[in-house]
Amino acid sequence: MSKPLDQSIRLRRLRASAAIRSMLTETTVEPRQLIQPLFVTEGAALEPIASLPGISRIPLSQLAAHCAELQKLGIHGVALFPKIENSRKTAEGAEALNPNNLALRAIREVKQKCPGIIIFADIALDPYTSHGHDGILNTKGDDVDNDLTVQSLVKMSLLTAQAGADFVAPSDMMDGRVGAIRQALDANGHTGTGILAYSAKFASAFYGPFRDAVGSTRKNGETLSKASYQMNPANRREAIREAHFDAAEGADILMVKPAGAYLDIIRDVRETSDLPLAAYQVSGEYAQLHAAAEKGWLDLRATRDESLLAIRRAGADLILTYFAEAYARDFAAR
Ligand code: PBG
């Protein structure tokens, strides 16, 4: 017999059985920590989204039942995104302020028929603009006008709060919008409506399938650059500044987006703020695992679970993920 190493510290003792591994698990992913993004369509039938396998745009008539199903699985929150007809899109995104638009009807429908689920309503103009940007362009037409856009976002937030959303979720990255929205909500009696701020949202190439889903995808075959308002993926310190500003302006929950390629940012924001922190595992993160699994190259369920675990371990309290429903089903079954 070979002589044992002179090794008194042996970490493998803590990994020796499923039981001890389970006891010592530091991080968990539970359905209550997940928020399901839902796409809503004007159409009458489910519309599968090719680049988001398993995800469809949902017609208004099926939306509340879908939310009730999620609730049964232990999911408490949904993030709503409308896909409107191209004919309703304009340069200013005026449809965003139509009090009877699809997003507002969707909120009212869910609040009426599935009142317990928490609605995070996206605040940005990209589902409504013909050019696909999150805001209104300046007179030269070469950039998004910050302050003009904030005026629109404030009005949109008021309509959204009136419709019954629990949280407005500005995803536009304009400067000063969180403070302006908070002030307007308070001045109009919506002190109970929260703000989930997309604080550190990066100009990422991982948003492609989402843009297919809301139909804002490409301009002359190219993915639209939002680099003049979304963050530079190279920047860490700047993300902390963004988080501080949104917190000071009255955000209730901060968010980092995307998640998987930005785990260091999640950790940084976690350590710099005591606010609850969300992370958005975006469409491209979901699509890449599905695509590799379809080829037989990755185990979908195992990589899904590991990717979510990593985001929680980095410091996110909540995760917006297209995997929410599937994860919760498997969670209930085990
Ligand atoms: C735009 C918005 C985007 C996403 C959520 N809100 C895309 C973008 O900034 O172009 C992306 C989400 C995803 O990829 O899953 N306001």
Nearest CA to ligand 1 atom 2: 171
| 321 CB near ligand 1 (under 6 Å) | no
pLDDT tens digit sequence for 106-153: 999 999 999 999 999 999 999 999 999 999 999 999 999 999 999 999
**Is 283 a pocket residue for ligand 1 (Cβ < 6 Å)?**
yes
Cα Rg, the chain, nearest whole Å: 21
What's the CA gap between 22 and 64, in Å, rounded? 36
Q: Is the pLDDT of residue 103 over 60?
A: yes
CB atoms within 10 A of CB 214: 20
Question: How far, rounded to the nearest angstrom, does the alpha carbon of residue 123 sit from its chain's CA centroid?
Answer: 11
pLDDT digit string, tens, across residues 268-299:
999 999 999 999 999 999 999 999 999 999 99
> Is pLDDT at 48 greater than 90 in this prediction?
yes
pLDDT at 218: 58
Instruction: Identify which has the larger pLDDT, 122 or 217.
Output: 122
Q: How far is the CA of 39 from the centre of ligand 1 (A)?
A: 12
Identify the band that residue 173 occupies on the pLDDT scale cut at 50, 70 and 90.
Answer: very high
Give the integer Cα–Cα distance in Å for 12 and 148. 59
Preceding omega of 258 cis (within 30 degrees of 0): yes
Predicted pLDDT of residue 214: 87
> Which residues are identified as catalytic?
201, 257
Distance CA 199, CA 246 (A): 6
C-alpha torsion sign, points 252, 148, 201, 326:
positive
Report residue 281 as tokens. Answer: 């595992």
Tokens of 72: 């049964």
Which ligand 1 atom is nearest residue 37's CA?
Answer: 15
Q: In this predicted structure, what is the pLDDT of residue 234?
A: 98
pLDDT at 164 (0 to 100): 98
pLDDT band of residue 222 (cuts 50, 70, 90) is: low
Mutate which of 282, 285, 290, 321 for ligand 1 pocket (most atoms within 8 A of beta carbon): 282
- What's the mean pLDDT in 80-84? 96
Token pair, residue 129, equals 């603009």
Contact 248, 197 (CB under 8 A): no
Tell the burial category of 311 from Cβ atoms under 10 Å away from its Cβ (0-12, 13-18, 19+): buried
CA neighbor of 264 nearest in space, from 241, 286, 234 = 234
Res 20 pLDDT > 70: yes
Mean pLDDT of the chain: 96
Q: If you measure from the C-alpha of residue 260 to the centroid of ligand 1, how many angstroms do you get, rounded to a whole number?
A: 15
Mutate to test the pocket of ligand 1, among 78, 133, 153, 171 (most ligand atoms within 8 A of CB): 171
Whether residue 210 has its Cβ less than 6 Å from ligand 1? yes
pLDDT in tens, 178-214: 999 999 999 999 999 999 999 999 999 999 999 888 8
CA distance 233 to 107: 33
Asked if the model's pLDDT at residue 316 lies above 60, the reply is: yes
What letter represents residue 93's amino acid?
G
Distance CA(233)–CA(262), nearest Å, equals 9
Cβ atoms of 231 and 152 within 8 Å: the answer is no
Domains of the chain from N-terminus onward: 28-218+228-332 (3.20.20.70)
| Residues 100-109, mean pLDDT to the nearest whole number | 98
